[in-house]
Structure 1
C-alpha cells in the first residue's frame, strides 16, 4: 500500500515538472516604457533648505537703530503712549474761575502725524485725538495726496468763555479739553482746508468723513455748518453729555 502511494506521488511530480513553463513568471517590461529613478537629493540639500527657511538675524547696525528709535520715542512720549509725542507741562492755572488743567501736556505729534503748532491739552483729549487720527482722519484721506503730513492746529488751551462771548460759560478750551483744526497738509505739498474745501468736490467729501468720524471719540464735534464761529475749522472736545455726543 505504501509502495503504491509513493509511485502515485512520483508520477504526479513528474507531470508537474513536465508541464513547467520554459520561461520565468516574472513580469516582462513593455516596450517604450522608461524607468523613472527617484530624484537624487544633492549632498546637504535638505540641510541647506532648512538653513534658507531660518530667519536671518538682523545686523548689529539695524538692531542699534531700532533700539535708538524706541528709546527716542519713549523719551518724547506723553500720557504713557509712544504714539503721543510732546512734553509734560504739569498743572496749569487759569486767570478766570473754571479754567486750568490738572496735568497738561504739550502735544507735538499724534500717531506719527505732526501738529503745525504744539497743542496744550489734558491726556484724555490727547488720547481721543489719537483715536480719531487713526480711525477717522487717516481712513478718510487714504492715499489722496500721499496721505496727511501734518495737522493745522488753530487753537488748543485758552482760558476764555465759549466763542469768546461775554456772559457765557467757560469754554472746553479753558479746561484743556478741546482742539480746533483748520486744515491738513498733505505729503505732496497741497492742503485740505476747512474754510476753502468744505462742501466742494473730493476734498469736501473727505472733510465730511473726518467730521462724522469725530463723533464718538469726542463728546463734541462742530464744523462749518454748526454756526458762524466754526466756518473755518473743526472744534473737537471731550466734554461728555448724558444724551451722548453732540455733533453738528
Structure 2
C-alpha cells in the first residue's frame, strides 16, 4: 500500500515538472526574465533615484531657461542718471515725494492738536465745568465734540469723556462698517446732547442722563453723496431698517442704555445713547 502511494506521488511530480518546462510564461510558475527597456521611450514616465539615464537622454530632459523679463530689459536700458524708475518700467514703485510726507505729518499734528479725551479720533475742545440749573445737572470736565472717528457731527455736542469714548467706539465699530458700501457715512445728525432736563421732559421725573453730559441722541446718518438715512423713515423699510437695526444693536455694549423706535413713543425718530451702567448689564430696547 505504501509502495503504491510513493509511486503515484513520484509520477505526479514528474508530470508537473515536465508540464512546467514545456508551458508558456502565462501558465508557468517559473518567472520570466524582464525584457530590455528603451529609455528614449520613457518620456513622461517616472524614473526612480536608482535609474541610470544616459547622458544624451539626460540632456534632453532638462527644463528650458526662463526668458528674461521685458521689464528687466527696459530697466537695464534706462540711464543710470535717473534717480528712480516708475511702475511702468520697474518693479519698484515711485518714491513718496517729500511734500506729501510733510502734508501727512502736518495733518496728523493738526488732528492731535484738536483732539480731546486722549484719542486722536475724538475731535473737539475742552470746555471745563458746566453748571446746571438743577442740582443734579452739570458736567465736571466737559468736552465739546465736532467729529468722531473721522465722521462730523451736524452740530457741536457737549458731553463728558466717557460718553465721547463710547461714541467713538460705536461709530468706528458699528456705524462706519454698516454703511461702508452705501456710504461712506460723513455726518451724524445730532438731535440732542447736553440739556439740564428731566427724562422725556416729564414733570416730576428723574433728571435725564442728558443733564449729566452722559447722553446723545442721533436722528440720522448722512452719506458722502448727500443721501440722509433717518431713523424715523429708515426704520420702516429695508434696506435701511436692516442697517439701522444693526447699528442700534452695535451700540448696546459701548453704551449702557440704548433706546430706539421699538422702545416707546418718545424715541420714534432717534436713537438715545447714554453711558449709565446697571448691575444687570446694558439696557437696550
- Indicate which of 82, 102, 113 corresponds to 1:75: 113
Contact 1:89–1:103 (Cα < 8 Å) also in 2: yes
Most deviating of 188-197 and 118-127: 188-197
CA distance in 2, matches of 1:183, 1:28: 79
Deviation at 1:111, TM superposition (A): 0.5
1:97-176 matches, within 5 Å, as 97-144=135-182, 146-176=183-213
Deviation, structure 1 residue 118: 0.7
Following TM superposition, by how much is the alpha carbon of 1:39 offset from its aligned partner in structure 2, in angstroms? 8.1
Choose which of 210, 223, 229 in structure 2 pairs with 1:186.
Answer: 223
Q: Does 1:244 align with 2:244?
A: no
What runs of 5+ residues in structure 2 fail to find an aligned partner?
1-53
CA-based RMSD: 2.9
Match of 1:91 among 129, 145, 149: 129
Consecutive unaligned residues of structure 1, counting only runs of 5 or more, are 1-26
User: For residues 36 and 223 of structure 1, what CA distance do their matches in structure 2 show?
Assistant: 69
Residue 66 of structure 1 and its aligned partner are, at CA, apart by 1.1
Q: Could you tell me the TM-score, scaled by structure 1's length?
A: 0.79
- Whether contact under 8 Å (1:221, 1:246) holds in the other structure is yes
Offset, 1:37: 9.5
CA deviations over 1:58-83 (Å, ceiling 9, x no partner):
32201110111011101110111110
- Cα 1:34–1:120 change in 2 (3 A) is closer
Q: Distance in 2 between matches of 1:92 and 1:207?
A: 33
Separation in structure 1 between the aligned mates of residue 272 and residue 55 of structure 2, nearest angstrom: 91
Specify the alignment match of 2:99 in structure 1. Answer: 61
TM-score by length of 2: 0.69
Higher relative contact order, structure no. (Cα contacts within 8 Å, ≥ 6 residues apart): 1
Which residue is 2:234 aligned to? 197
Secondary structure of the equivalent of 2:175? helix
SS at match of 1:67: helix
**Number of residue-to-residue matches in the alignment:** 216
Cα drift, residue 139 of structure 1 = 2.3
Structure-2 change in CA distance of 1:29 and 1:233 (3 Å): closer
Pair 1:218-2:255 in alignment: yes
Relative to its length, the structure with more strand (as a share) is 1
